[in-house]
Amino acid sequence: MAKKRLKGRRGNPKYFSADQLKFYLILIPLAIIMVLPVVYMFSEAFKPLGELYAFPPILITKNPTMTNFKKLFELSGSTGVPMTRYLLNSVIIAGVTVLVNIYITVACAFVLSKKGKYKVTKWFFSLNQTALMFVPVAVTVPRYILIVKMGMIDTWAVHIFPLIAMPIGIFLMKQFIDDVPDALIEAAYVDGAGNFTVLRKIIMPMTKPAIATVAILTFQSAWSATEASNNFITSDVMKTIYYYLNALSVSNTVATRGVVAAGSILLFIPNLIIFICMQSRVMSTMSHSGIK
């Protein structure tokens, strides 16, 4: 029994053993290499102008300053649209997109997983798998024609509509819903529950890791999207912060390099916070899909 217990502890990452040292010797240097760009990016945002162009480059700033952030807000205010407006637009768009996308993705995956006895259902899943091969640029023209025909130009919907369903999200969600016991769903139907009740009280609670992953992927897509602001929006008050900062980085000069670095931090922090809060669920989803 003692040998079995010891063996179990060695295989469990919660316990440390000398056998794991060889893995740490590889993982720790790799982790440092991966963290260095993030550290440099944060340091860049707080560097004064003299340190920004120092040679050799300085990894950690010696004289941190908030000047770059002050200039960022002052520069946005000089254009007639305050930066808080761009930020508010992005928060609203990302939040609404995530909520709508989650519900549509879960509902679609539920149909593909548990209503798959019809041939048309299998055909739709194959179509979803095919959509994974297309990059967004390949559907720019058809998307533009569709949005114009639906009269969405210069509306909030133009930011949300292209992102309300993601093929990768539907694929990941279906893998999880496949493992939900059919007997449990059938018992709910016998008790008088409808499809929406089953979706809300059985499917969603049992697929939280996949939902968290879909939420992260959707948020990242909505937060960093510039296509709508570039192609479908003419009013500056309806554009996003990512569009504004991306336009600022294009016109990057000696004087605005620190401002661009400060803006990059503002764009990076929300993604970092969301991923840190949900990383365990994301890893659970990826490992589950890989095993399947």
Taking only the tens place, the pLDDT of each residue in 163-184 is 888 888 888 888 888 888 888 8
Task: Of 87, 95, 129, give the one whose Cα is nearest residue 218.
Answer: 95
In a domain, 44, yes or no: no
Looking at the structure of the chain, the number of domains it has is 1
Confidence of residue 111 (pLDDT cuts 50, 70, 90): confident
CA distance 81 to 238: 10
Q: Is 277 helix (H, G, I), strand (E, B) or coil?
A: helix
In a domain, 17, yes or no: no
In a domain, 19, yes or no: no
Cβ proximity of 168 and 217 under 8 Å: yes
pLDDT digits (tens, 9 = 90+) for 130-168: 887 877 777 888 888 888 888 888 888 888 888 888 888
In a domain, 63, yes or no: no
pLDDT at 56 (0 to 100): 80
Q: 195 burial class (0-12, 13-18, 19+ CB within 10 angstroms)?
A: middle
Give me the mean pLDDT over the 100-109 stretch. Answer: 91
In a domain, 31, yes or no: no
Cβ proximity of 216 and 278 under 8 Å: yes
Identity of the amino acid at 121: T
CA distance 223 to 91: 8
Cβ proximity of 259 and 71 under 8 Å: yes
Alpha carbon separation from 99 to 17, 42, 87, 106, 195 (Å, rounded): 44, 30, 19, 11, 19
Tokens standing for residue 39: 């550290």
Q: Residue 189's domain is classified under what CATH number?
A: 1.10.3720.10
Q: Which domain range does residue 96 map to?
A: 72-291
In a domain, 29, yes or no: no
